Chains A and B, each alone.
Chain A
């Protein structure tokens, strides 16, 4: 085939695609002269070129079609029948072109006289219509068959230029045969029938106002069109042209070569990496950069807007709309989204199929739509957008949605699952069966769809390119197919990491950053329960070890997979999900040529493919989406686990009698958190720095009409220099103290077991709070710093200080919480963990002025303890206070019977102090 001809074929095919789209648009807005001009010009160019190349068949059809369109331009009313006829002509031109291409430039034999005849008849009809209000001379010699039609009344006896129904019948039989060979997708048959009907029908009444004879304008336009065509030709060969045509093969070859180049460069880099100070380093770096740029450039040549794949759809939808007698609107969003040409080619057919499917199965007939309260016109929406290295294409209709019951029935009928299995399935699971082979729910087989060779082919095609197809459907609202396909099949930049001794490649597109974790570094792995998290710029990042996700951890305990002292965290973002994947090592980044997984392994969601690395070994490429999915399910399973654990915890607590208390976590000085029981804190305040005044050598703020001294956790600390200063306010009897902290972190519910005591003043010890070692602050140390007489003042007599109180509680938390309170109140407190120890102390002769005892204790409870003390004459007169979290009238009564002097709720600190005061004053009074 000579170059000119092949150029012509490509160009004409493109033009025809445009004409298709334009014609559909034109049909909708027949008064748009721009569209019509556009179509006219294109057809005219085709005609002209055909004549030049000596292709009489094509020229004949193009000419007849052009004539008809010329009539439209002159103002003839545009009928659906006429547009259909032109579309048929264009299909015919396409077929001839296809044959022409296949035959290597030989125009196929065939007779188009029927079609031409129809076109001419239509032209004549248009003339008649136009004649209603305008000069008939608008139609000229272009329609030679046409004779003068004097009568304006349209009657049905056959007019000259029209064809008889018999002839039409014959025509479509012949057309049918012809078509079958060439393009099975185009359903010419019904259309021709339709045209026949149209021809039979009376032409619409001429619209006089619209008609405007303008023979001059026409010829001018014609000239212009011709000139245009000429220019185009000239431009095609011009040097100044902005684009050139390149054969796809050339590009493909280029791409392969670049891929090879990338691989070779990788190999070289690998070699150089092993040799320090190699003189190759610098040139290789340059080569590497150039390669990267080259690769980018070649990739760019392969990118095409997805609109190219959609080009044919308006026409298809239009035809379907007529055939199915459903008005359909096609919405296309994001047509300029770019993706790899190769991918584009692969999804063309599935997309077409899905659109046809939506039109046929998805959308209801107008009556049904009206009944459902919807717009009569159904809408099919095509949307495309990028998301995380993938392109998402959505085919959505606002039809009736998928009839789950019918699918169920079909599943059972086909024996794909048993009835009981089906009953257990969720709707999305049922929907998935749409993609099973040979599955169709269309009640009847139509010419459009319902033959059951559909969605499985669609799925296969999409999966072939590493994509997925998903279905969402709401009964009555419509359904939408979501296709997710990779942007390109060729090269991706990846990060090579190691987990459990194996290397994996993570696509860099989804890697946000890398974090190095070390014990003494800023970033540390912390645990909430057993869930590892990373604090990263004020956000908590959930962590999971890669080997745990992949199920390849070889150690005993999966929890140990994450080494908190040393490790790398790959922070990944997939969609809206951000998470950290812990790996054992990070090697380097490498450009890799993705090779699809073998079919046997394609069901593994964790990998998107594999490749051969520079060193010749095969490496698996992690699929970020799979990881994100696994991460989500991992999280939910650990939630389930932690729920179980919580239940266990509750049981444990019930046994030990310990309950969680609210702790206020804050930070001051060191990064480690500090805690104080929330019940002791009166208020959390933030003061503007300017409010902090200095007087008599100490910092004060005016607080509620009084001066509140500020106390610092560590001696020598100062408040911030600007902004606001957070502090914890402790108030008692009209006096307040502000404890200056750097930051209030959190309020948590947790048990507080002080596991490590402290020698440091101001610190009770360390406890594990929310899986972190936390210092528990001794408030008793700080209060006197604010007011030296804090305790003195409260105890009216100094004697109180010498009062010895025995505090019995099995819970270390309460011992630790209340001891400072009691101390703060001026008592000399001795604690013991249970009645047994208390008896021991008493037996040893230690004197106590009062005993405060917990009720809920293992072995011997508070009541028994009290009773046995009362039985002993030596201790009969010691006041005993009961302390319980369970304060009910019955328990108070029980306490009184046991011999308690008072009964105080565990968290009622002022109550406890008051009760102690009471018993002592009573005792003192009695003594006096």
Chain B
């Protein structure tokens, strides 16, 4: 998988402030995920839904013998569901567990300078701002950086608060 090969380059670039992003499209908007966090790109198939879970949890699926929790990014971003089209998923690791972000399509890999990122515009939808780690101005379009830690971190319920 070409995406994985790029991992090596990232490591080499670790010293510089150039960051490689895997771009994905969710509801027409371009998003970028730091390539170091992307482990897989796969087609989510036979997803088992999990009753009682948060609405954005699409379910669980078997990815080469590992159980992956799939998160529907359209629902997470409060976008209408994708009609009759093949969805894609990006596999990421968070706290030693596998998650799959279900997105529309996967794009190319871009190498961008971390300096050129701008902070979130203040009028950005709060639900988007929650998980956006800044914006890159590209030719003709904007790329929102997906902050995976914040995206997934916000989905864990604090047990102490849950008890209260």
Contact A435 B160 (CB under 8 A): yes
A470 and B162 CA atoms in complex are apart in Å by 15
Contacts across chains A and B counted by CB atoms under 8 Å: 87
Interface flag for A600 (CB, 8 Å): yes
A607-B50, A617-B62, A618-B48 known; A600 and B160 CB under 8 Å?
Answer: no
A279 to chain B, nearest CB (A): 30
B60: A residues at CB distance < 8 A: 598, 601, 610, 618, 620
Q: Specify the chain B residue showing the minimal Cβ separation from A456.
A: B160
- Closest CB-CB distance, A402 to chain B, in whole Å? 15
CB distance from B93 to the nearest CB of A (A): 12
Closest approach, in angstroms, between the C-beta of A587 and any C-beta of chain B? 15
Determine if A917 is an interface residue (Cβ-Cβ < 8 Å): no
Is B52 in contact with chain A by the CB < 8 A criterion?
A: yes
B160 touches A612 (CB 8 A): no
Q: Is there an interface contact between A502 and B48, defined as CB atoms closer than 8 Å?
A: yes
Interface-forming stretch among A377-385, A425-433, A633-641?
A425-433
Alpha-carbon separation in the docked complex, A416 to B62 (Å): 38
Contact of A612 among B67, B98, B162 (CB under 8 A): B67
Q: How many residues of B contact A (CB 8 A)?
A: 29
- Measured CB to CB, the nearest residue on chain B to A425 is B164
B61 close to A (CB within 8 Å): yes
Contacting residues, chain A, for B61 (C-beta < 8 A): 618
B160 contact from A425, A436, A603, Cβ within 8 A: A436
> In the complex, what residues of A have CB within 8 A of residue B53's CB?
600-601, 604
Q: Can you list, as one digit per residue, whether each of B46-74 has a CB less than 8 Å from chain A (1) or not (0)? A: 10111111100101111001010100000
List chain B residues, Cβ under 8 A from A722: none
The CA of A551 and the CA of B52, in the complex, are separated in Å by: 7
A600 touches B67 (CB 8 A): no
Classify the secondary structure of A's interface with B: mixed
When A429-B164, A616-B62, A618-B60 are in contact, do A599 and B97 touch as well, CB less than 8 Å? yes
What residue of chain B has the Cβ atom nearest to residue A617's Cβ?
A: B46
Tell me which residues across on chain B come within 8 A of A417, comparing CB atoms. 164
Chain A residues with Cβ below 8 Å from B62 are 612, 616-618
Does the CB pair A600–B162 fall under 8 Å? no
- Nearest to A546 among chain B residues (CB) is B51
Please, which residues of chain A bring their CB within 8 A of the CB of B46? 616-618
Is B126 an interface position by the 8 A CB rule? no
A332 sits at the interface (CB 8 A): no
- Across-interface contacts of A601 in B (CB, < 8 A): 50, 53, 57, 60, 69
Q: Is A550 an interface residue (CB 8 A)?
A: yes
Task: Give CA–CA (A52, B48) in the complex, Å.
Answer: 62
**Nearest chain B CB to A858 CB, angstrom units:** 48
Q: How far is the CB of A847 from chain B (nearest CB, A)?
A: 70
B95 to chain A: closest CB distance in Å? 7
CB distance from A859 to the nearest CB of B (A): 52
A617→B51 contact, CB < 8 A: no
Residue of A at shortest CB range from B157?
A: A603
- Identify the interface centre among A416, A417, A617: most chain B CB within 10 Å of its CB: A617
Contacts of B50 in A (CB 8 A): 601, 604, 607, 620
The 21 listed contacts between A and B (C-beta, < 8 Å) are: A417-B164, A425-B164, A459-B159, A503-B48, A551-B52, A599-B97, A600-B99, A600-B156, A601-B53, A601-B60, A601-B69, A603-B157, A603-B162, A610-B60, A612-B62, A612-B65, A616-B46, A616-B62, A617-B46, A618-B48, A618-B61
In addition to A598-B97, A603-B157, 17 A-B residue pairs with Cβ atoms within 8 Å of each other are A416-B164, A425-B164, A433-B164, A435-B163, A502-B51, A550-B52, A552-B49, A552-B51, A598-B69, A600-B99, A600-B155, A604-B51, A610-B48, A612-B67, A616-B46, A617-B46, A620-B48
Interface residues of A (CB under 8 A from B): 416-417, 421, 425, 429, 432-433, 435-437, 459, 502-503, 550-552, 595, 598-601, 603-604, 606-607, 610-612, 616-620
